[in-house]
């Protein structure tokens, strides 16, 4: 049998070697990790994780004949310490869950070829396997046999965290490591210390089990479902793990063994596999809807709220948008000044704890969900503190009073403001499975704002002199320095919020709204303290509010701002052009033909990513059958939340 496998492998390798597919050259400190699961003799129909054996052999032979070199966990550790060098195009083969096909087929095949691998074991599964698995698991004696072979690293796939747990009041379940448990009986969320204690207890149980069964302590940790966060990683490192593996795509780096990318290998053609290992992942065009949760929430009925949410999601699925900017705050009166939110937190009242549930229902339908969040237009429960921390405006006579702008914002120069808003964002990230954040357009300061005493002190320290409105009006150079300082301060403020989110959602992406005049005319930075070039440098996405009706402009204006975006190297790639579906000045919906014409102007001018706002699923506005002509995009199949194949 072994010789038949080898002959098959050599033959397939020769066939692939005659192809035209190029290999890729990895940087010196990079390597690739491939993640496999079941390699059975007869794959389960429709299971993307059960790879046919001939397909697996074909892939290994492609790698072998195209210059890839198979390395071990020990090779990676030693290379990270400078004790050896990894070969060019280094590849680590990893196998999750310890299926019997690994012992019966993969292990003998790789050992015969002389290739090392890593096997990730869920401790509690071996003696009590889950019901829904594609094939039987290995026994402890078989695991010990491969562990002592000298070519297999046994990694921890946790003791009992490869499962889903409830994390919302509505009963949604998510990966045990990626969420805080919600106890419905007590009506309480797991606090941070309880979450960390849960991880530590699991790590301890796995250590004890490995020592008893295998005589070793695991040094590599493979996160179930690829879910992790900075809290979990730091806890794992404190516990003694040397390497932690995710399911993020792309090459891994020796510089950070605490977050190692792994590339999931699914059933597919050899061409698809070659593309996976040789080509960078391309970002598909964004097609986004920005949605008001206020419209969905029914204060009188939780059942009706859920029905409304279902209606919204059905519409979004039919629209085939791939991204949703979902309102996480409550603004029922449309004032723009936020007094409550839709998620559990320590800062503001909770109007209803429904945001996490809404996000869950959308992500299991294949959509990326960004929490649409305020940055400064927050009304703290302490009204006197609000007054003290408010953005202040000055007139030419030097009279200073609280700004009367549409958004009644808190000053970004106040440490108390930063602390409170960071806490709000931390709680959002820890209780929901968001993919990212859309920063509201309230992060601006006009040419006569901010003259809060905290801001004045900051200007004095940063610019070396006191600042008054009359000073900057008289001195264009000082106005430019002052404006730039405010712009950068707002960016720094949002960067701190990003850090708060990444502690719990390390792969979160961040988008920030930009007023279109800033892109159309660089001198507009003074009006808003916003800068398109700096936004491109600091955020994953810049969402340009391309609202012709609001700006009283036509389609030529749209063409201008798209072309202006294209003058920056990353402009088109990182900019989402958001069009308005409703004319707020005339209080009526914009005709779909007008909306489509505007969208097509953006695309014809070179724009790539699109969004629209607002949406009303009850009135079918904008009209689904028309608007999806441009907003539909390919939606990839999603995995059920109770899948065990990761």
C-alpha distance from residue 198 to each of 202, 278, 433, 581, 618 (Å): 6, 39, 19, 47, 43
Q: How many helices (DSSP H) and strands (DSSP E) are in the chain? A: 25, 27
Question: For residue 591, which of 548, 559, 632, 634 has the smallest C-alpha distance?
Answer: 548
Quote the CA–CA distance of 137 and 642 in Å, as a whole number: 19
Show me where the domains of the chain are located.
31-278, 288-445+490-631
Q: Residue 395: what are its φ and ψ, rounded to 5°? A: -100, 180
Quote the CA–CA distance of 263 and 252 in Å, as a whole number: 10
Per the omega criterion (within 30 degrees of 0), is the bond before 630 cis?
no
Quick check: 330 pLDDT over 60? Answer: yes
Instruction: List beta partners, residue 580.
Output: 613
Q: Dihedral of the CA atoms 326, 332, 335, 337 (nearest 10)?
A: -60
pLDDT for 46-97, tens place per residue? 999 999 999 999 999 999 999 999 999 999 999 999 999 999 999 999 999 9
Quick check: 269 pLDDT over 70? Answer: yes
Asked if 31-278 and 288-445+490-631 have one fold, the answer is yes
φ/ψ bin of 191: left (φ > 0), alpha (ψ from -120 to 50), beta (otherwise): beta
Quote the CA–CA distance of 411 and 386 in Å, as a whole number: 10
Contact indicator for 609, 285 with CB cutoff of 8 Å:
yes
Quick check: 644 pLDDT over 60? Answer: no
Task: Give the side-chain half-sphere CA count within 13 A for 350.
Answer: 13
Residues 6+ apart with CB under 8 A from 24: 89, 277, 278, 279
Q: Residue 263: what are its φ and ψ, rounded to 5°? A: -105, 115
Contact indicator for 339, 379 with CB cutoff of 8 Å:
yes
pLDDT for 216-263, tens place per residue? 999 999 999 999 999 999 999 999 999 999 999 999 999 999 999 999
Quick check: 7 pLDDT over 50? Answer: no
Question: What pLDDT does 355 receive?
Answer: 98
DSSP string, 179-234: S--EETTTTEEPPHHHHHHHHHHHHHHHHHHHHHHHSS---EEE-GGG---HHHHH
How many Å from the N-terminal Cα to the C-terminal Cα in the chain?
30
User: Mean pLDDT across the stretch 583-591?
Assistant: 95
Question: What pLDDT does 629 receive?
Answer: 86
Which of the two residues, 1 and 572, has the higher pLDDT score? 572
Q: What angle do CA 115, 121, 123 make, to 5 degrees?
A: 155
Quote the CA–CA distance of 426 and 505 in Å, as a whole number: 10
User: Mean pLDDT across the stretch 172-193?
Assistant: 96
Model confidence at 633, pLDDT cuts 50, 70, 90, reads low
Beta strands, E only, 571-622: 575-580, 582-583, 588-589, 609-613
Contact indicator for 526, 487 with CB cutoff of 8 Å:
no
Return the SS3 of 305.
helix
User: Mean pLDDT across the stretch 521-525?
Assistant: 86
Third-level CATH fold of 31-278: TIM Barrel (3.20.20)
Quote the CA–CA distance of 127 and 136 in Å, as a whole number: 11
Question: What pLDDT does 555 receive?
Answer: 86
Contact indicator for 376, 442 with CB cutoff of 8 Å:
yes
Contact indicator for 620, 590 with CB cutoff of 8 Å:
no
Quote the CA–CA distance of 626 and 480 in Å, as a whole number: 45
Could you say which of 3.20.20.80, 3.40.50.880, 3.40.50.300, 3.40.1280.10 is the CATH number of the domain covering 288-445+490-631? Answer: 3.20.20.80
Quote the CA–CA distance of 392 and 471 in Å, as a whole number: 17
C-alpha distance from residue 469 to each of 442, 457, 480, 483, 523 (Å): 22, 15, 13, 12, 18
Q: Residue 71: what are its φ and ψ, rounded to 5°? A: -125, 165
Q: What angle do CA 211, 212, 214 make, to 5 degrees?
A: 65
List the single range of 147-151, 276-280, 475-479, 511-515 with lowest mean pLDDT. Answer: 276-280
Model confidence at 282, pLDDT cuts 50, 70, 90, reads confident
Tokens of 83: 């004790």
Model confidence at 467, pLDDT cuts 50, 70, 90, reads confident
Tokens of 570: 């990353």
Q: Locate tokens 């069964």: which residue?
A: 213
- Average pLDDT along the chain: 92
User: Mean pLDDT across the stretch 376-395?
Assistant: 95
Q: What is the 3-state secondary structure (H, E, C) of 424-450?
A: HHHHHHHHCCCCEEEECCCCCCCCCEC
Return the SS3 of 646.
coil
List the single range of 11-20, 188-197, 243-252, 538-547 with lowest mean pLDDT. Answer: 11-20
Question: What pLDDT does 12 receive?
Answer: 42
Quote the CA–CA distance of 429 and 427 in Å, as a whole number: 5
Quote the CA–CA distance of 100 and 84 in Å, as a whole number: 34
C-alpha distance from residue 260 to each of 38, 114, 228, 556 (Å): 22, 24, 11, 47
Quick check: 8 pLDDT over 60? Answer: no
Helix (H) / strand (E) element for 545: namely: strand 541-545
Model confidence at 22, pLDDT cuts 50, 70, 90, reads very low
Helix (H) / strand (E) element for 278: namely: helix 270-278
Of the chain, the percentage scoring pLDDT greater than 70 comes to: 93
Question: What pLDDT does 28 receive?
Answer: 66
Question: What pLDDT does 26 receive?
Answer: 58
Quick check: 636 pLDDT over 50? Answer: no
């Amino acid at each position: 049998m072994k010789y038949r496998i080898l002959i098959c492998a050599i033959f397939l390798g020769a066939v692939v070697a005659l192809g035209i597919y190029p290999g890729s050259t990895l940087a010196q400190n990079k390597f690739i990790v491939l993640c496999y699961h079941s390699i059975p003799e007869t794959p389960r129909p429709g299971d993307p994780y059960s790879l046919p054996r001939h397909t697996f052999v074909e892939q290994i032979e492609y790698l072998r004949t195209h210059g890839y070199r198979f390395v071990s966990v020990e090779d990676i550790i030693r290379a990270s310490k400078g004790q050896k060098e990894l070969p060019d195009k280094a590849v680590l083969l990893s196998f999750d869950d310890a299926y019997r096909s690994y012992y019966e087929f993969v292990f003998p095949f790789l050992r015969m070829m002389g290739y090392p691998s890593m096997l990730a074991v869920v401790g509690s599964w071996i003696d009590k396997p889950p019901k829904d698995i594609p094939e039987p698991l290995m026994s402890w004696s078989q695991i010990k046999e491969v562990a002592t072979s000298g070519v297999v690293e046994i990694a921890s796939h946790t003791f009992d965290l490869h499962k889903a747990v409830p994390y919302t009041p509505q009963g949604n379940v998510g990966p045990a490591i990626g969420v805080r448990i919600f106890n419905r009986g007590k009506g309480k969320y797991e606090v941070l210390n309880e979450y960390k204690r849960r991880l530590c207890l699991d790590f301890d149980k796995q250590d004890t089990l490995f020592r008893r069964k295998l005589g070793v302590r695991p040094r590599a940790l493979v996160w179930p479902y690829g879910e992790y966060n900075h809290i979990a990683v730091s806890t794992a490192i404190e516990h003694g793990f040397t390497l932690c593996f995710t399911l993020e795509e792309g090459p891994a780096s020796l510089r950070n063994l605490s977050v190692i990318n792994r590339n999931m290998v699914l059933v597919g053609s050899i061409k698809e596999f070659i593309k996976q290992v040789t080509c960078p992942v391309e970002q598909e065009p964004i097609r986004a809807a920005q949605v008001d949760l206020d419209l969905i929430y029914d204060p009188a009925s939780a059942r009706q709220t859920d029905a409304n949410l279902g209606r919204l999601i059905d519409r979004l699925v039919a629209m085939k948008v791939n991204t949703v900017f979902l309102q996480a705050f409550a603004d029922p009166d449309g004032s723009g000044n936020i007094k409550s939110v839709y998620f559990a937190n320590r800062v503001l009242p909770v109007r209803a704890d429904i945001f996490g549930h809404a996000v869950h229902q959308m992500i299991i339908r294949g959509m990326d969900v960004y929490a649409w969040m305020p940055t400064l237009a927050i009304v703290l429960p302490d009204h006197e503190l609000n007054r003290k921390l408010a953005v202040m405006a000055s007139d030419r006579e030097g009279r200073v009073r609280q700004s009367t702008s549409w958004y009644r914002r808190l000053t970004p120069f106040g440490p108390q403001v930063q602390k409170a808003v960071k806490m709000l964002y931390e709680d959002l990230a820890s209780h929901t499975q968001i993919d990212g954040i859309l920063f509201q357009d309230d992060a601006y300061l006009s040419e006569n704002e901010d003259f809060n005493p905290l801001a004045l002190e900051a200007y004095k320290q940063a610019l070396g002199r006191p600042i008054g409105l009359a000073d900057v009006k008289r001195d264009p150079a000082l106005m430019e320095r002052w404006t730039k300082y405010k712009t950068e301060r707002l960016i720094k403020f949002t960067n701190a919020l990003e850090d708060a989110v990444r502690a719990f959602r390390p792969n979160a992406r961040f988008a920030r709204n930009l007023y279109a005049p800033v892109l159309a005319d660089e001198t507009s930075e003074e009006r808003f303290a916003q800068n398109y070039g700096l936004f491109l440098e600091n955020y994953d996405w810049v969402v340009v509010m391309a609202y012709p009706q609001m700006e009283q402009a036509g389609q030529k204006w749209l063409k201008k701002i798209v072309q202006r975006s294209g003058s920056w190297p990353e402009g088109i790639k990182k900019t989402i052009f958001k069009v308005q579906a409703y004319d707020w000045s005339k209080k009526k919906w914009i005709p779909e033909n007008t909306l489509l014409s505007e969208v097509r102007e953006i695309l014809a001018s070179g724009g790539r990513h699109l969004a629209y706002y607002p949406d009303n699923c009850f009135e079918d506005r904008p009209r689904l059958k028309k608007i999806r002509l441009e907003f539909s995009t390919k939606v990839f199949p999603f995995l059920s939340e109770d899948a065990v194949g990761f």
